[in-house]
Structure 1
């Protein structure tokens, strides 16, 4: 059964646009959201409204807009995300916290704000996480933010099931989007960094060993569509996940740490 109305966060990015179009092509009324309406200028077939997932007032205003202008919500797709590469220990903690605000707590804010509307339709929340949550490498908070989102999704799925709201995650591997291309433009850390040398080796390792398989946004969007519309949705959907990451995730910490240390030496 195809839901009637879906809201997508982070709709101005490559994956967000693809998700909006996949849903719209399936007959869903799509509310595309991002920090500004201008970021979504290529989504003329969608309703568009500004929504900053880090701003509780902005999220509440968008929820009020959907209630007043659209009248219902069947699916919430939490897709907004950012990525950055830098020494986490030396960065301003607020910069690290911002990644959690967008990638993790943004999904919590939107779920909370739209809860009444989702309860009314016995709707569904789809959280876009990442296969990288399995193994946290140094110099990026992204993987930890997705690990936290996986945990929150489990909590919400079990908590909201009794009132008929489903919660599922989509775990893509590498996607050809702006986030993936950020790997090619990693700058040096701040002057005087104690970690400049290992960070440089980390950046060179990423450059030498890019992912061999990279999904098109449209392919991931089709998986999100399944997660949004399957009659009996799975708890987790995966696309283009790497066997190497699965293996690394179950290694004893001592061996995993040693493998990372070899890269940074």
Structure 2
């Protein structure tokens, strides 16, 4: 990534952790593509903040569950800013339910966004991220805790971790590193949805640092993985969870 103009795509970057990742990479000097599926106002707000702070960003709509949309996302990124150096597969959803009560619709949608979406990104990234670039996937530290009501979500993220390890070996000869970040509980709208205050307080009690994470905590890790300094880190799952597990 010696070229002074560097380009990054962040999927699901319209709010929460994704928005923080896009803002941080833009602050690091990346021309950043803020991907969204259905929230153009939120995505444009992220872009506006980046531009106001002197960065470069554009919002691009694409449902990562659709292969053609992911190809078009790369096409637009390349047309706007040139070859892609960093891909962050952040887009994800969660629906909490005991396994026996998971609906077919919720199962299929989590598979579509979390697993198929990440696969679509990794496949396209493997073909089009520049030599020496970075592919960074988002997993979860719930893997290892296996909390009730998180079964399908955990399954999708465990599959993403498996592909992360394999793709790292497949792209190593090109100097492209592939890693995943596994956040612990982070104070976002996605995290709070469907969880009781009592449940949240129990989670906080399990964290040695005594607090929920903030999106900026995850952004700092992704910033490092996107930088030249991380060049010897490859095929790793990095837990950013305050020491919870």
**Fold match, TM over 0.5?**
yes
Is the counterpart of residue 148 in structure 1 residue 174 in structure 2? no
- In structure 2, do the counterparts of structure 1 residues 90 and 237 end up closer, same or farther at CA, with 3 Å as the change threshold? closer
* Alignment RMSD (CA, Å): 2.1
Q: 1:114 aligns with which of 120, 125, 130?
A: 125
Q: Give the gaps of 5 or more residues in structure 2.
A: 52-56, 206-210
Deviations 1:134-163 (A, max 9, x none): 232332222222111111111111122123
Q: Cα–Cα, structure 1 residues 49 and 207, in superposed 2: closer, same or farther, change >3 Å?
A: closer
**Cα distance in 1 for residues equivalent to 2:6 and 2:79:** 16
**Considering only CA atoms, is the larger Rg found in Structure 1 or Structure 2?**
1
Matched position secondary structure for 2:99: coil
Cα separation, 1, equivalents of 2:237 and 2:159: 15
- Kept in 2, the 8 Å contact 1:134–1:147? The answer is no
Between 1:84-93 and 1:204-213, the stretch displaced more is 204-213
In the TM superposition, residue 210 of structure 1 has moved relative to its aligned partner by 3.2
Partner of 2:54: none
User: Is the 1:83–1:179 contact (alpha carbons within 8 Å) kept by the matching residues of 2?
Assistant: yes
- What's the TM-score once normalised by structure 2's chain length? 0.83
Aligned to 1:25: 27
1:241 Cα deviation from its structure 2 partner = 4.5
Cα separation, 2, equivalents of 1:154 and 1:181: 30
| Matched-pair contact (CA < 8 Å) for 2:65–2:116 | yes
- Structure 1, gaps ≥5 residues long: 186-203, 246-265
Residues 65 and 206 of structure 1: is their aligned pair in 2 closer, same or farther, counting only changes over 3 Å? same
Q: 2-side partners of 1:20 and 1:63: how far apart?
A: 16
Counterpart CA distance in 2 for 1:170 and 1:91 is: 26
Deviation readout 1:225-253 (Å, 9 max, x if unpaired)? 1111123235232222544x4xxxxxxxx
CA deviation after TM superposition for structure 1 residue 207, in Å = 5.4
Q: 2:133–2:175: 8 Å Cα contact kept in structure 1?
A: yes
Conserved 8 A contact 1:53-1:107: yes
Q: TM-score, normalised by structure 1?
A: 0.77
Deviations along 1:6-35, one digit per CA (max 9) or x if unpaired, are 100010121111111111111111111010
Is the Cα contact below 8 Å between 2:184 and 2:242 reproduced in 1? yes
Distance of aligned partners of 1:167 and 1:8 in 2 relative to their CA distance in 1, 3 Å threshold = same
